[in-house]
Structure formats: C-alpha cells, structure tokens
Structure 1
Amino acid sequence: MKKIRRGGTAPGRLPAVALGAVCGAVLASVPAAAAPGGHGSISSPVLYVAQQTGPLLVVDTREKAVTRAIPVGSGTDGVAVDEFRHRVYAANNTDNTVSVIDNVVNRVVATVPVGEGPNTVAVDSRHHSVYVSNFRSNNVSVINSLNNRVSATIPVEAMPTSVAIDPHLHRHEAFVTNQGTGRVSVIDTRTKTVTRTIPVGARPNAVAVDPAPLHHTAYVANGGSASVSVIDTDTDTVSTTIPVGGAPTSVAFDGLRHKAYVTSVATNSVSVIDTDTKAVTATVRVGSGPLSVAVDPLNAKAYVANKNSNDVSVIDTRTDTVEPATIPASAQPVTVALSYGGRL
C-alpha cells in the first residue's frame, strides 16, 4: 500500500531578532539577489519538484518556469535539500534508492541503495546524516552525507510515511509517522535508536517540526481522521488536535508569520493554521490532488505540488490567497523543496 502522498510584534509573536534565527545561519552565505548565471538567492530561491513518473524539475521561482529536468531513479516520492553541502536528495520508491544531486552543477553524483519503498527524506546537517523512511521494509535508513553510504538502519513500526528532524540546536530528535499503526516513532539522532512512540490520529501521512524557537511542537497530518495532531516536543505527547480538510498529506511552516500549511488531497485545499492559537484561519483552494507543500518565509510564498492537475500552485502567505499563475509540471508532481543557494 502506498501513501497518498506581519508588521510589528503582536502578543505571542517573536521580536525581529528571534525571527531572524528561524531562517538559519545558512542564509549568511547566500546572495541577496539572483546572481547572473542563474543561481538561487534569498529573494528568489530554487524550487525542486519531485515527479512520480518523470525527472526532478528545477524551477526558477521568480519566473515560475522550469529551467532544468534532472534524470533520477524510478517512482520518485520525496525530495530534500542540504544547503550546507549543496546537495539535493531524491527518494526513488520503485528503485529502492536515493539519488544524490549536486545542486551547483545539477547532476546526480551518487545513487544510494536504501530500504524498500523509500518515500520521504530529511536532512540532519549537524550530524552529517540523511534520514529516509522506507514504507515497505518498515525502517529508516540513515545515510552518511560525507560518503553517501548507509550508516544505520533503524526499525520503526508499520508503513513509515514521513520523517522530520527537529531543527533546534539543543534537540537531537527525528520524528517518523507510521501509517499502519497510527503512531509516531521518536528517534534519538545521536544514538540512532527509537526512544518512544506517540499515538496520534488515524493513518498519519506526514510530520513537520515548527521552527519557531518558543513553540516546541511537531505537527502530524492524519490522513484517516482529517486532522492534525500537535505534539509537544518537550513531553512527546499530543497537546491538541486540529480538524482540517479531508485526507491531509503534508505540513510545512512559515516560522516568521507563525503559520502552518496543510495540504488535503480529498478536498483540493490547503488549511492555514495559526500556530499560536492552534486554529484554522483560512482554507485555500489549489489544484487537483495536492500532496506536498514547501514554504519560503523570506518571500512569503508557499508552493503546493498538485499531482492530478500536473502543476504547482503558489500561495501568498501574507494574504493566504493563490496567485493566478501556476508552475507547470510534466509527470505527476508529488513533493517540493526549496533551496536559497541552488543553481538554475
């Protein structure tokens, strides 16, 4: 079985200094404007679109145009970026491999065999590791990003569909959704072992960790219960459950505006959650079959991969409205990821 795949400082908001920390130190080495020769920048990042039946697309977000198509493995189901090492990782579900792409030259530099049915990828730059959830073999492969070899295989529960790394420097945890059991496995990224499991909603499809420094939460999209479970990462327990659209498939955060964006494939919509109040504040209609969302907080954009309509919708996260122009895809887009330093 395959997964379906503001101005000022208001009360509860972070001051500008704290907000800047959300973006990460990596931005210090990224140009402020698009460079001649086609590099991504703070004002115009590169978008990577994984397609289930075709190549990995490289997109110029300023022009909303595909600039390159990179051949990868078969049945690509997930994509993630390591900004520090200038690498893009694509999980190939059919091939049971991960393609490693150098995003300066935009070509595959390694192909790493992993478990069966790899579907999502998450990068842990601090520990030079890449985590891959393997849907059919019920485990997580950990790739050493220095040598592109699997350094550990971690057993989890049935049908792992997503993995996310806690980005906060004092934390060392990865969260894995297990669709078959309705639980989240918590992995210690130092010891590469599961330390606990957390019951969430039915058929959890995806997990993401809120980058806002004071929130200490992870959001889980529950495909079988049309809800989002909010995990308190201090206690590793569910603190609240938020109703969203039908069959939610992914979650991504705008840490600057304290919002979470949740795609719902059954309703062709994105639910916008205020992460301070834990309430849905808007529902945005997008294309057909939205499976994944990636947020660019610096430019107030969210990008949604619509598998059935073969395109990517762009949401203005200041107004939570869809921009008129979509980005065309060609072969069932399933996952999106952003890079401020990639080459077009």
Structure 2
Amino acid sequence: MKTVWISTVCLCLTGSLCAQSTNYHLVKKTTIGGEGGWDYLMADPQGSRLYVSHSTQVEVLDLKSHEKVGVITPTQGIHGIAVVPGTTIGYTTNGRPNTATMFNTKTLKATKDIPTGKNPDAIMYDAFSRRVFIFNNEGNSATVLDATTGNVAGTVELGGAPEAAVSDDHGTIFVNLEDKNEVAVFDAKSLAVKHHWKLGKGEEPTGLAFDKPHHQLFSTCNKVMVVMDSQSGKVLAEVPTGSGTDGAVFDTSTGSAISSNGEGTLTVVKEVKPGKFEAVQTVTTMRGARTITIDPMSHHIFVTTAEYGPAPAATTENPKPRPAVKPGTFMVLEYAAK
C-alpha cells in the first residue's frame, strides 16, 4: 500500500470563519491495490476505522493513517457496511448470495450469515430503534435486524427499489426509491410506510443526505440534487450536479451537502440565503469516484476509485464497452474543508 501525503495550510481569521469555509481540497491519497469493483465505504470514528467495499471483501483501514488493518471475508458482491456504536458488532450486505454478514469489529471475523431480500445494497444503523436496516434493491424491501443479535425483526415492503437511507433519530426513516423517483418514509419501530414523496424533476435517486436541524433532505439524482423538506415532502430546490452522481453526505461543519459524481467531481451545495440553494464549489476528484462517506468527528470526506485503461473494442454483444480498471490501482481519496 502506498500513501501520498499532501501538505496543506489553513489560514483564517477566526475559528467561525474557518468552519464556514467550503473550500474542500485533497489531503491524502492512498493506493490499496487489488482487483475488482467497489461500492459503499463507511467511516467509523469511534473505532478509528475506514471500511471500504472491494469486490469480494471489505478493506479495513486505519481512519487517520490509511494503513491497512485487515479484511473481512467472505462478502461476495459486497455493497455496504454498518457498525453498531458502543459494541464490537458490524454488518455487511452481500449482493450475490442475498445475505448479510455479521462480523466482530475487533477480530474482523464473520460471526453470522443472515438471509435477506434480493440484492441487499444500502445498509444503516438506527440508534432510535436499535435496529439495522438492510435495503434490498431488487427485492423492493428492507430487511430489519435486531442490532445486537442479528435476528430478523421484520420486513418493510417499500413498493420500489431502495437505495441510500437516513434516519431523523426520532423514529422515522427516509429512503430513496430509485425506480420510482420517490422518497419513501416509514416508522423505524412499527415498520409502517407513511409516505411516498415525489422528487420533482429528480430521476433515479441514489445518495441521500440529511440536515437534521433544518429538516432538509438532499437526494442525489441524475445530474441534479433535489432538496426536500423532511416534514412535508415539499421540494425546496433542484440544484445541478456533475454526471454519474451516486453518493451524498452532509457536512455540519460547513452546512453543505456534497454529492460524489462518477465523472470525477464533488458538487458542494449550500443554502446561501433562506430558501436559496446553490452549488458553491466543484471539487475535482478522479473518474469513478462515485461513492462517499464522511467522518462526523473530523468532517473529512472519503471517496474510492481506481485508474482506468482504454475501453475494449465494441462487439455485437457489447456495443458500448466500459473501460477496464487497471489492476493494483484501487485507492482512497480524502478531502477536507479549509
């Protein structure tokens, strides 16, 4: 594993001015290596770990140094990772076998294999209900687990293909429905679906971020971030983003929602005055860096990608071939605001 350090200097007049800056910049680039694709990654500040999905395993890195701690296997078709704060329990979603893996965060050993719905994808822990929610993209449902035992507590029939989800920490879960261009809203304890809210002009929503104090959802759709009132479902704004948009996070230190775009950019969106949302910065990343996580303690942002070679020649069976990933180039990029 190779790490490139990039020195930075942050100059500001006051701490408050520095906190309000949205000048995100690269602070570290680390090559992990290996082969295969990737999906979600997750920062765990309590455990000082960065969990990164990578083909058939989870790469576990030290959150600060990026040094490799180990791997979690077997996780065929790994998508997402969640950990339960205050415990040594974590979970992965495995798209190929339609399972979740319960693992020990200290030993990184798998402890339980849990059947889910079809193609489990996004995953989240909800502190209010003390449950883990697994969103089955092709199953149009969520498998609900007791966080401490891994036992299935129920299923939510969502009526569409779920992607990323967030909690209001008071018993309500919001989740994007990719094929319906909606946000579904359900109760974390009763599992009753309460609303299906349309995303205006937003199509194929994937990433979802949440400004809890201001009750604002940020849904990353195809080349647009839709801002929605989380209490009424009213669409507040539609802000253009880069192409290949996938993930989203909200940075409380800058009051910004950030989308990760597969074209190789981050789009930073902010409420510049009451009711007016704008893209205030476009950050250059690398092609393929479409998923994102944020460390809620340091407020640093992480994305993963790799270098690409030329696309193979088109064939009748594959008229639009994708460029191949160069083996050994899988990497993590870390960003911070000045």
> What TM-score bracket applies, with the shorter chain setting the length?
0.7 to 0.9
CA distance in 1, matches of 2:63, 2:149: 31
> Is 1:127 matched with 2:125?
no
Alignment of 1:1-344 (within 5 A): 7-9=14-16, 45-51=48-54, 53-167=55-169, 171-200=170-199, 201-211=202-212, 213=213, 215-223=214-222, 226-265=223-262, 267-275=263-271, 277=273, 278-306=277-305, 310-318=330-338
AA in 2 matched with 1:218: L
Say whether the 8 Å CA contact 2:166–2:209 is kept in structure 1: yes
SS at match of 1:303: strand
Displacement of 1:60: 1.5
Structure-2 change in CA distance of 1:81 and 1:146 (3 Å): closer
Aligned to 1:337: none
Aligned position for 2:319: none
For 1:317, the aligned partner's letter is A
CA spacing shift, 1:160–1:297, aligned 2, 3 Å: closer
After TM superposition, the runs of 4+ consecutive aligned structure 1 residues lying more than 4 A away are: 6-10
Q: Could you tell me which amino acid in structure 1 is paired with residue 208 of structure 2?
A: V
Find the counterpart in structure 1 of residue 27 from structure 2. Answer: none
Structure 1: which amino acid aligns with 2:184?
S
Aligned residues: 276
Letter in 2 for 1:186: V
Look up the SS of the partner of 1:147 in the other structure: coil
CA-atom RMSD in angstroms? 2.2
Supply the AA of the counterpart residue of 2:226. Answer: S
Once the two structures are superposed, what CA deviation does each residue of 1:217-266 show, in whole Å capped at 9, x if it has no partner?
A: 1111103xx1111111121222111111112101012112212221111x
Given that 2:210 and 2:216 are in contact with CA atoms closer than 8 Å, whether structure 1 keeps it comes out as yes
Q: Which runs of 5+ in 2 are unaligned?
A: 1-11, 21-43, 307-324
Q: Which moved more, 1:90-99 or 1:283-292?
A: 283-292
The 10-residue stretch of structure 1 (157-166 or 273-282) with the greater mean CA deviation from structure 2: 273-282
The structural deviation recorded for 1:301 is: 1.4
Aligned to 2:39: none
Whether the 8 Å CA contact 2:80–2:122 is kept in 1: the answer is yes
Closer/same/farther in 2, CA of residues 247 and 298 from structure 1, 3 Å limit:
same
Percent sequence identity is 20
Question: What TM-score comes out, normalization by structure 1 length?
Answer: 0.75
The gaps in structure 1 that reach 5 residues or longer are 1-5, 14-39, 319-344
TM-superposed deviation, 1:126? 2.2
TM-score (norm 2): 0.76
